[in-house]
Structure 1
Amino acid sequence: MVRLYSVRALLGVILGYCSLLPIASAQQAVSPAPYIWENKLIPPSPEAGALSKVDLNPTVSATGKAPFSIPLYTLAAGGIQVPVQLVYTGGNGIRVNETASNVGLGWVLDAGGVISVTVHGKPDLYNDSYRGHRSFHPALSKYPASSSGYLWCDGANPSSPVNAEHNYAEMVNEGLLDSQPDEFNLKMPGAQTAFALDSTGACYAIPHSNIRIFLKRTAADDPYFEAVDASGNHFIFDQRERTSTISRLNGSTVRPTNGGPYISGFYLSKIINPYGEEILLTYESVFYRQELGTDLEVFHFNSCLDNGSTKSITDAYTVRQQSFTAPRLTSIQAKTGRLDVIYDAQQRLDNPGTNRIAGLTVTTAAGQAVKNFVFAHSYFKTARYAVTDTATQHLYARLKLLSVQENTLPPHVFSYDTLLAVPSRLSFAQDHFGYYNGRDGNQNLIGDLSYDLHADREPDSLACRFALLRSIRYPTGGQQRITYEAPHQLTTSIKRTTYADATLNAGMDTTTQTTMVLGHTRKRSISWILPNTSTGCRSTVAIVQLPLTSTSFQFHASGTSDTTSLVMPKGTYRVTVNNRACQQDGAFISVRYDTLITSQVRLPLYGVRCKKLGFYDSNNRLVKTVSFRFKGTQANQVQPYRRQMYTTKSSPYGDVSCDWSVYMGSQVYTLGFPEAPVYYQQIEQYQDTAQTQGKTVYTYENGRDDVYKPMPGLVPTSYAWLRGQLTDVDHYVQQGGVYSPVKKTQYVYALLHDPEDFWDFQLAPKARHDLNIVGVYIRTVKNLKSLGGCNEYDYGFYKLPSVVRYLSKEIETRYASTDTFQTTKRFYVTNFEHLQPSITTQVFSPQDSASTHITYPSDLDLSSSSPDGQMAALLKLRSKGILTAPVEEIQYRQNKVVKAARFDYSAAAVPVRQKEYAARLAAPSSNFRPARISNGLFTADPSYQPDFSYDLHDRLGNPLQITASADRSNAYLWDEIEEHLLMVARNAQFSQVAATSFESTNSGRWRYDQSAGGSRRPGGRTGRWAYLLTTSSVISSEQLPADDYELSFWVQGSGIPQLQVTGGTQLAGGPNRIATAPGDWQQYRTRLHFTSVGQVSLGATGTGPSLLVDELRLHPVGAQMTTYTHEPLVGLTSQTGPDGRTSYYEYDALGRLLRVRDEQGRILSQQEYQYATQP
């Protein structure tokens, strides 16, 4: 075979550049390379890709990756929470070409959100390339029939029926259509999903989700995305990351056809709740570059039809580089406070142009410092780092996170595996999934063994563990240590072994004999060699079973050489070789048998998994171990080496067709394959402490990806969302050395289409929630267009299925020594907009069940042009994206209604709950009529009677007054910044109460000086603040209706505030001192009688001293008021009950509740924290 190499390549599988040279004639000195498939896949940036790896699963996942996270802080506003945490994503191993984030290798700062983009073909958002996408295709013609997946034409004018399909392939090949949808991965607080764009630009979640995603445009026509969750919160992703890609092909710089600049990521910049509350994320722009690695494609020439002479073609190497103009997070701001990200002033050694995160600061809305985090780093460095020139040193170092310290607390300290060599980021020493395998002698990534210079791509269970996290020491002094192991798969090995029962030779003119004992009846192979009879020899062989009888086994042969197989009974045999009267050597006989030995062989797989977690206290004593056993190991069906070699045709010599074998070696990230190479169907988790031993068994779904035709680098139809979902959780406790079951929970899911049934192309979309967006790969197989004909194309396709999947059943079984009890919950989802269970049924026994039916706004017909008030409110809820507000809840028992409630909403700009109704049923009813809308009118069962009314709300929708059907009202006060409850007063209307501890911006229906530098003073009785009463700084209540009231307050010192009552009088004898407390605090109480609308004021006397007052409370006589104080960004600090007694809550430096005291400072309860798994 003559070796030929290409002068151009699209090398590797993504980012390839195809330099189309003119067709050469047979007389030319150098022939062009064959036309080959060009995959245009571009990965997201390191930061965006790292954020997309964050796993929301809090337990060891189905990939064997243990979750390690360090919660730092959570910002909140309007019911929205943005957790800020450090997450370790390297639990399955670090890939050779992985770039460290600005936190460190294997770590990511999970704060905010991102939509990362993996480009397939042309960037979808460039000139609206998504318009070439198809959710259905005509059946593609296949020719020839024996080689499916080819598009061809006959001459210059292709005839029907292949014309449309061939023209489609032509347009894709010429870059006029984009046939490959890009992959978008959304990560935002509390949610993750993938999605793709159809030909109209609509976003389809994969699988279908109640998170609605919209592609939008700015006034300058720049694209951005907006996501809306089921609660109506809007997430704006408009901070764009732009990427450009260039390639150096054999030293010459070229730019791929999809090289950019294109948008590779959209970062979250704003979260808006339905009431207009916002959380803002700000960014600054940075620019940096990174090498993506070297790909190689080699062409072996096989043959041409005329067997003409061939010309040498040089190897083609492609080195790819990406440059990023990327936003990096600088702050997150809510009304409650602000988090700032501090970057180091010096550029990183491993990624020039970027800076490591040096720290985080958290401040309150008033600018008060709450938390300060300091990050310490160093670098993992290879042996070549010190001897490498400064221009390439960054390839031999990776950022390492050493510790994170909060304020003056002891730090979180991280240690890593330092015994294993750290490879260069561009090293070829990679297994098939890109993990380090220590084969530093590899010169490329071609793993096909038939290639002369092939690389060793087999996994190495030790080398792949480089730089892995080994332990975390917590601020408490406790430590968590991680032990890893290499995944493996047990396979059955069958080995054939031959055993000889007898072997006998006879020389010239001799006879030899032996006795053979066979212990088993079995088929045996008898082979013999005897001298040729033409020489006059009459040699014979014989096998006779002893003792010799008429039924004994006998075998005789003469004058031949042969082998036969016969079943020989067990027993004793005489074997004879007779070579008498023969002057030749070589008479021979053998009796043997073969046996198959079956054994279990451990087949090494890729990456690592968590084997054991050890938890140690501050004295380094082991207090708990958690170990894991993995079953049902499954490697990904579609692995990168599946298409390392393929064949192609070309016509480099005029119209002469030639065959080539193409060998491919590509960086793994260019292939677009799943992040995790191995999944497990079952994980056993063993927990051992000094007191208990337990076991939990997790069973997961483990669906495989599918591929229509294994083309080079063809991305599979991914069902990753099916993998890793829990199907069973079994809990055991060890008793007497045996694990006994305690509880079992089973989860059953409904999939509203079976991917196997929908594999063929859809002729039309099935439904809005059930859509297969199809990606088609086109590869030129034969180029005849320049010769006046037309090209022949190979094609393959994959799907992006947006289908509904939900939990349909949950079965819980509890085990006891004398009985087993089982309950079953069934969930029915009938509306694919909100995806909430419309019916939940709980089965207690075959004869006993209960179900709850819940109706949501989108379940009702809201199409009327003249809606009534309730329908208008439901329309408003739906338009605001509030999908999960219940309209009606009905409980059935034995198919009869036993309880029902419905909810009315206001039709305000932001709807709020207005009334609750309860069905007054004398007995379980079979005639109950569920709520419905007919001709724009909302109707419900006549048994409904008012239960509660929500009379007043604040601007955030929090209730201020709720009135029961018995005309008894409860009043509430809320902190509009922190959104904490400040006061609840039972048996009181909102207009009748006033309460303040002078902590919040909410004055609690009191009027006083709230200006900065005003009369508020530190050192309050119930919180941090009190109020200084002077003759000029008085406190007045809001207007109060006529009634009898009770007023109470605390005063520091011996003076008493002067009360002035308008519209009523103070009852004689007040205020009366009712309690004292440390710090010279006195508590007073008095009663007021209002005959008309009025108010009460407190001030200092003109001759007395200024007074410090706190915990000022006013409510009707007979009402029960409870008030609360909170420390900003910390938590509840005090609670004062209806009896006026206060409990105080104290926290340690880690923000954990430490103790509770009464108003005299006496300890009511105290928490003592031992080492926990994650402090």
Structure 2
Amino acid sequence: MTDESNKIWNVTLPSSNSWSFQDVTNANYIDHFTGRPNVNIPIHTIVTRELSFPISLNYSSSGVKVNEKPGIVGIGWSLGASGSVNRAIIGLPDEDPNGYHKRGPSHINYDGSLRDFSLDDYYATSNGLIDFQPDQYQYHTANGLSGIFFLDPMNSNELEILQVPKTDNLILKYEGYLSGTIQWVVKDIFGTNYFFGSFNNQTAIETTQTEEQSIGQKSTWYLMAIVSANGSDTIRFHYEDGGIEETEYYDEVYTKILGQANCSTGGSYCPAAEGYTSNIRLVSHQTFLLKRIETELMFVDFNTILRGNIKSIDNIKVYLKSKPSSPINEFKFSYMEYGTLNNNDFRFFLSDLVKSTPSSEEIEQFVFSYVQPEILPELNSSSIDHWGYFNGKNNPGIVQKHTIYNSINETAYEYGNANRATNTTLVYTGMLKEVIFPTGGVLNYSYESNSFCQIRERNTEPYEEINNDVVLSSRNGDTIFYFSITKPQYVTFNYTITCDEMAGGEEPQIDIILLNDGSTIQGFNCLGPGGYQQFNSGEICKLLYPGNYMVSVAGNSGDALITFSYMTHLLLSHPIEGFGGGCRVKSLSLSDMNHNSITKKYSYNLEQHNWPSSGILHNMPQYLFFQNYTKRISNCIFECNYFTISSGSRYDLQLSKGSYVNYRSVEEKIDSPNSGSTIYFFYNPTDIDDYSITEYDFPFPPSINTDWKRGMPKKIINKNFEGDPQSEALFYYDLINPYYLYGIKVGQRRFTDEFNTNLLPTSYFDIMVYRYTSADYLMVKKVNRDYLGDEVVESEEIFDYNTTLGHRQMTQSTKKTTDSQYITKIKYAKDFHGGNSDYMSAAIENMVQKNQIFPVEITKWIQNTSGVQSLIDGQLTLFRLENGSSVKDKIYTLQNKSNTNFFHSSINSAGIFDFDMQWWSKKIDFNNYSNLFRLNQRTINESGIAQSVIWGLKDNNTIATTTNSTLSESGHTSFENNELNGWTKYGPNEFETTPANVFTGKSSMEVTGASGPFQIFTVGQNAEKHSGYKASVWALGIGAYLHIEVNGEWASHVKVSNEFDDGLWHKLEVELPRHKIQPYFSQGENLKIKVYVGSEKGTVYFDDIRFHPSDAKMTTYTHEPLFGVTSISNENNQPIYYIYDPFGRLEYIKDFERNILKKNDYHYRTTSQ
């Protein structure tokens, strides 16, 4: 059983596998903000008509924790292949009768203040019987969609989804309250729908059960499907039962009874015993493992193998649905195992990843090695530092040695017997050391311990001293003196007071009070007996806020002479470097197959302030230290009073999946002569330029969950090899439309933050209100500077937003130069929404409902020094509703760019866009879309030229593009994938896939002594615009012919036959000139042209048949699914071939006669090497 006093700290996280799908997409090999290594190995990208989804192997770690279990791809690695909505149950589940959703609204006001918080509530909160902390939800997918949200019960009867911070993603919850929620839907800014938990009657929802709960709680909703905004495209995810994953949280607790009425061990409301007790909290997860991803055309299988009682990925195979038994590619995972199966010392690390294909002996192999993984101790070992990393200490337990001063009885107590200090040479044990790439290139890492500024000591030398004294004279009244400081600092006050004896022998009294904005900072009270007296003082105050200060002198001193002076000192100017929170990259080296190498070294100090580290420790282990009061009866105060201290840490440490230490700045320098460096600066909660901290915050800033500026780039400086700046970029952000979600938790009164003594961060039990901030945190300015000798060239960009309309996209950017400002203004669908359905177009309403945040209007302006703006460029995109989805209808561009200083567009009461046409011309008409919303035809209005597109492979690939032709008067097929693309074949005609009988792609049409495929084109009055029509086809076999005619009239026909019997492909081409069509112009829209092929002798083969106006230009394409384009045929129907090796790499480019134009060589291992 778990000690009652620890319940309020319990955080129930999802299983390790649910977190293993997190996305790490940094293309660099290091994350500068955290110092972590970043390795991203692409495995496969799923591409459909409108969707894409990457599968990758990712490494990003700050160290291997002793209690860390291997995931499905080993320790330290994650498989980016799916996604999930994860729920961290903090304390009790939100929906519990004593959980946040029931208790929060009854005790927390809208402004965060408490109400009706009784003694019983105090007791119940201290013992974890009721919960005032909201559960945290996080969604993430392998393609980078991510966010955090809470369910807010405060403002209405319905739970409001509160994103922290706000994003433009729309989150929807379906099917009942939390315990019944079976589906979450997230819509991104393109209107793409991500379904989590269930889709089409299939579900994958992980449940989590703890010993405190009688039933499992839903904790993870896995990504089930991705559906495009128009519903035409879907990627499905399938899972298998992953079994029960059990996690043991081991903890030791020391209890000290301080005494109270009737206080004894073992009582109803008293601790079980004084001294050490150990707890094991068991958390069980009913897990799921990704089994398959599928689309309309292909699928990817994920196959696992059991290593003891842990499943790991054995291989990933990629298939086409047309060839379901033969994988296109296979990825094989191998592991190094340490320890004994099913024992506490068993771990495995990914050793290599091999990509192979059935049609080749060649392989692509990645090989991985690590830093001494064999020396890691067994799970639940006591050889751990404060953060759980290996420190090599032979500790008898895990309660850190503490000396605690109890202010109640003014007694110091010693607790614990463990040394939890970080070992700077062991903290990176088990980290990724080397990656060998398939080409022979090598990536090497070296590491060092994370560090942070632990204590800042004030300088003993004066920073600034005010020497001229201020003489104040007071007689039975007040005297006020003002001064100001520009930065936080220590101030030494010196004053001399001379006063006379009061009449009647009354003792004089002088009060000197230091105030800031009306609040007393420090007071000095001076009393003296009658007579001539002098009082001197050398008080030191710590002033943390820049600004104006006031010294108020008051008293009944009679005549007094007061001499006042002060000197200031640098505040916290001598930081001491602390170590812990995992490790960081010290250097990395990259070498290619020819052993050409480059080494990058990283420095994490804050050089301009002479600080040894720029690190900020975001998650200091707050060892649980309570002063517990147990109740006797409802109306009595307390029966027993005792302390408990735990080896465990508070919940934000457990919630952190990232690095405990972040860096204000890091310098990256290439280790070679004459090489410069780049310094990256980041925002942090306790940034040195932001003095909104207090002495009690440092070095432990506010919770990671409430500061969203954290990690945003602040400045980037590029220096030359001499250290002189060459350029820099500065970034500024602002907090817009904040909304606060309040909760109640255990507060902390820190005794000390000094690691170099036996006093460690601990906390009294106390109730405090905290808040999560939901807001738009947006970049509002960027400044670029280039240093050209003695000259500095600066430009500035300012960004504006209209977040009140419900999106965070930039609505205006202004670039300032010396003499002008260039302004870009953008309006989106929501900007035209207006909240009134009577004044919007159906297409705009549809886009808003689907969360499609597309630019509708873009205008560019120039503003002179007098502030006058002139419109210089612009584009307006109009949409229409088609088959229930919004599609582009027209694009207008600015035509008259002179003397235009006003432009306004809106939607009128008829739902039509209203704007001044005198300045605008229609550029593009989007004429026609397929049933799957593929653009088939558009018209360029300036020239009146139509452009048409023909789609193949179920509308996935472009197979023909034609300029100066409508869709109705052009056609093409190369018979790929058994598709005719609008042509019709006769019964005896057969698709042919023998390579020798195929001209382009992988298919042709076999015709034996009969008519072949045909198509009738209703060209209508378009025929009058052209000089005629042309058809061509490639044919193999004597007797093949191509025929074209108008309205079935033989008199109009043109025919050509293949007379060669040489076993070669020949192009047949015919043209129907205008004079043969002109007699039929009177047919109007009924004018039709028929094109067909056939065989007059035996068996022939046809490929690449096309038809279009004679003055049009057609380009045709063939594709290999999962590889790419395999041929492009020009306007003369002559192809260029693109040949791939079995791994999908482009190997040859050949002309239409198969002559090699280009060859690419790849140097990879073979299976025999």
TM-score by length of 1: 0.75
The answer to whether 1:179 aligns with 2:132 is: yes
Match of 2:314 in 1: 358
Shift of 1:794: 3.8
* CA pair 1065-480 structure 1, distance change in 2 beyond 3 A: farther
8 Å contact from structure 1 (residues 73, 84) kept in 2? yes
1:1034 to 1012, 1015, 1032: 1012
1:214 shift after superposition: 1.6
Whichever residue aligns with residue 646 of structure 2, its letter is M
> For the residues of structure 2 that align with 1:930 and 1:683, how far apart are their CA atoms?
47
Structure 1 pair 935–132 and aligned structure 2 pair: CA distance change class (3 A): farther
How has the CA–CA distance of structure 1 residues 1166 and 995 changed in structure 2, closer, same or farther, with 3 Å as cutoff? same
Instruction: After TM superposition, give the deviation of residue 176 of structure 1 in Å.
Output: 8.7
Structure-to-structure mapping, 1:1069-1088, within 5 angstroms: 1071=1056, 1080-1088=1064-1072
Aligned residue number for residue 265 of structure 1 = 220
Select which of 660, 673, 690 maps to 2:642: 660
Residue 873 of structure 2 corresponds to which residue in structure 1?
899
Residue 452 to residue 133, structure 1, CA distance change in 2 (3 Å): closer
- Residue 782 of structure 2, aligned match among 764, 786, 810: 810
Matches within 5 A, 1:98-113: 98-113=68-83
Q: For the residues of structure 2 that align with 1:778 and 1:491, how far apart are their CA atoms?
A: 24
**How many residues matched?**
964
Separation (CA, whole Å) in 1 of partners of 2:781 and 2:852: 26
- Return the structure number with greater relative CO, CA threshold 8 A, min gap 6: 1
Residue 947 of structure 1: aligned partner: 923
Q: Does residue 962 of structure 1 match 2:938?
A: yes
2:90 & 2:17 partners in 1: Cα distance? 19
Question: What is the rounded CA distance, in whole Å, between the counterparts of 2:98 and 2:964 in structure 1?
Answer: 61
How far apart in 2 are the matches of 1:1077 and 1:1131? Answer: 34
Q: Which residues of 2 match residues 674-823 of structure 1 at below 5 A?
A: 674=656, 675-687=658-670, 693-704=675-686, 716=703, 718-719=705-706, 721-732=708-719, 734=721, 738=722, 743-752=727-736, 770-777=738-745, 794-814=766-786, 821-823=793-795
- For residues 974-1011 of structure 1, give each alpha carbon's deviation from its aligned partner in whole angstroms, at most 9, with x where no partner exists: 23547332221111111011012222566343233799
Q: CA deviation at 1:607?
A: 0.9
Q: Which residue of 1 aligns with 2:245?
A: 289
CA contact (8 A) 2:9 2:651 kept: no
Deviation digits for residues 737-764 of structure 1 (CA, Å, limit 9, x no counterpart): x366554333222221xxxxxxxxxxxx
Residue of structure 1 in register with 2:899 after alignment = 924
Counterpart CA distance in 2 for 1:488 and 1:644 is 24
Structure 1 residues 137 and 667, CA gap change in structure 2 (3 angstroms): closer
In the TM superposition, residue 779 of structure 1 has moved relative to its aligned partner by 9.6
Structure 2 unaligned spans of 5+: 198-202, 267-271, 357-361, 404-412, 461-572, 607-612, 688-692, 750-763, 864-868
Q: CA 1:168/1:750 → structure 2, altered by over 3 Å: closer, same or farther?
A: same
1:1077/1:286 CA distance change after superposition, 3 Å: farther
Retained in 1: the 8 A contact 2:459–2:574? no
Query: Structure 1 pair 326/451, CA: closer, same or farther in 2 (3 Å)?
Result: same
Distance, in Å, in 1 between the alignment partners of 2:218 and 2:694 is: 28
2:95–2:101 CA contact under 8 A, matched in 1: no
Give the alignment of 1:906-921 within 5 angstroms.
Answer: 906-908=880-882, 909-921=884-896
**Number of the residue aligned with 1:592:** none
TM-score by length of 2: 0.75
CA distance in 1, matches of 2:149, 2:458: 48
> 2:796 maps to which residue?
824
Match in the other structure for 2:974: 997
CA RMSD of aligned residues (A): 4.1
Aligned partners of 1:717, 1:496: CA distance in 2, in Å? 31
> Matches of 1:57 and 1:107 in 2, distance apart?
16
Contact 1:864-1:936 within 8 A present in 2 as well: no
Report the AA paired with residue 984 of structure 2. Answer: R
Matched, 1:624 2:580: no
1:1056 alignment counterpart = 1040
The aligned amino acid for 1:629 is: S
Shift of 1:208: 0.3
Corresponding residue number in structure 2 for 1:840: 813
Task: Using the TM superposition, name which of 301-310 and 100-109 deviates more.
Answer: 301-310
Which segment drifts farther, 301-310 or 228-237? 301-310
Indicate yes or no: 2:65 matched with 1:95.
yes
Q: Answer with 1056-1065 or 1043-1052: which moved more.
A: 1056-1065
1:566 corresponds to:
none
Matched AA of 1:805? Y
Tell whether the 8 Å contact from 2:678 to 2:718 is kept in structure 1 after alignment.
yes
Aligned partners of 1:381 and 1:397 also within 8 Å: yes
Deviates most, 297-306 or 805-814: 297-306
- The answer to which of 101-110 and 196-205 deviates more is 196-205
Match of 2:55 in 1: 84
Say if 1:1032 and 1:819 are closer, same or farther in 2 by CA, change over 3 A.
farther
Is structure 2 residue 419 aligned with structure 1 residue 461?
no
- Select 1:209's aligned residue among 151, 167, 189: 167
Q: Do the aligned partners of 2:990 and 2:1005 also contact (CA within 8 Å) in 1?
A: no
Asked if the contact 2:631/2:639 (under 8 Å) is kept, the reply is: yes
Residue 425 in structure 1 maps to residue 383 in structure 2? no
2:338 corresponding residue in structure 1:
381
Distance 1:122 1:702, change over 3 A: same
Q: 1:1010 and 1:101 mapped to 2: Cα distance? A: 56
1:565-644 to 2 correspondences below 5 Å: 602-618=577-593, 621-632=595-606, 633=613, 636-637=616-617, 639-644=619-624
> Any conservation in 1 of the 2:446–2:585 contact (CA below 8 Å)?
yes
CA–CA distance in structure 2, aligned partners of residues 268 and 1023 of structure 1: 36
Partner of 1:372: 329
TM-aligned CA deviation for residue 810 of structure 1: 2.9
Change in Cα spacing, 1:40 to 1:866, as seen in structure 2 (3 Å) is same
The alpha carbon displacement at 1:608 in A equals 0.9
Cα separation, 2, equivalents of 1:818 and 1:707: 40
Larger CA Rg, structure 1 vs 2: 1
1:583 maps to which residue? none
Alignment of 1:982-1131 (within 5 A): 982-1000=959-977, 1003-1008=980-985, 1014-1015=991-992, 1017-1019=994-996, 1020-1032=998-1010, 1034-1041=1012-1019, 1043=1023, 1044-1059=1028-1043, 1061-1063=1045-1047, 1071=1056, 1080-1089=1064-1073, 1090=1077, 1091=1080, 1093-1102=1087-1096, 1104-1131=1097-1124
1:708–1:969 CA distance, 2 compared to 1 (3 A): farther
C-alpha contact (below 8 Å) 2:314/2:332 kept by paired residues: yes
Q: Give 1:182 shift.
A: 0.7
Secondary structure of the structure 1 residue equivalent to 2:390:
coil
Distance between the aligned counterparts of 1:682 and 1:326, measured in 2?
Answer: 40
TM-fit CA distance, 1:463:
1.8
**1:72 Cα offset (Å):** 0.4
| Distance in 1 of aligned mates of 2:240 and 2:1156 | 49
The whole-number CA distance in structure 1 between the counterparts of 2:808 and 2:1122 is 34
Alpha-carbon contact 1:428-1:445 (below 8 Å) kept: no
Q: Deviation of residue 113 (structure 1)?
A: 0.7
CA gap of 1:1077–1:688, structure 2 versus 1, over 3 A, is farther
Counterpart of 1:972? 949
How high is the sequence identity, in percent, across the aligned residues?
A: 20
Cα distance, 1:964 vs. partner?
2.2
Give the CA deviation at 1:207: 0.7
Q: Are the aligned partners of 2:1044 and 2:1091 in contact in 1 as well (CA < 8 Å)? A: yes
- The match for 1:888 is 857
Q: Flag the 1:281–1:660 CA change in 2: closer, same or farther, 3 A.
A: same
**How far 1:882 sits from its partner (Å)?**
1.4
Report the Cα offset of residue 801 of structure 1.
Answer: 1.4
1:477 partner amino acid: G
Partner in structure 1 of residue 493 of structure 2: none
Q: Distance in 2 between matches of 1:94 and 1:121?
A: 27
Q: 1:396 aligns with which of 329, 337, 345?
A: 345
| SS of match in other structure, 2:799 | strand
Cα deviations by residue, 1:40-96 (Å, 9 ceiling, x for unpaired): 321221112333474657562211012112110011224221111111132x11112
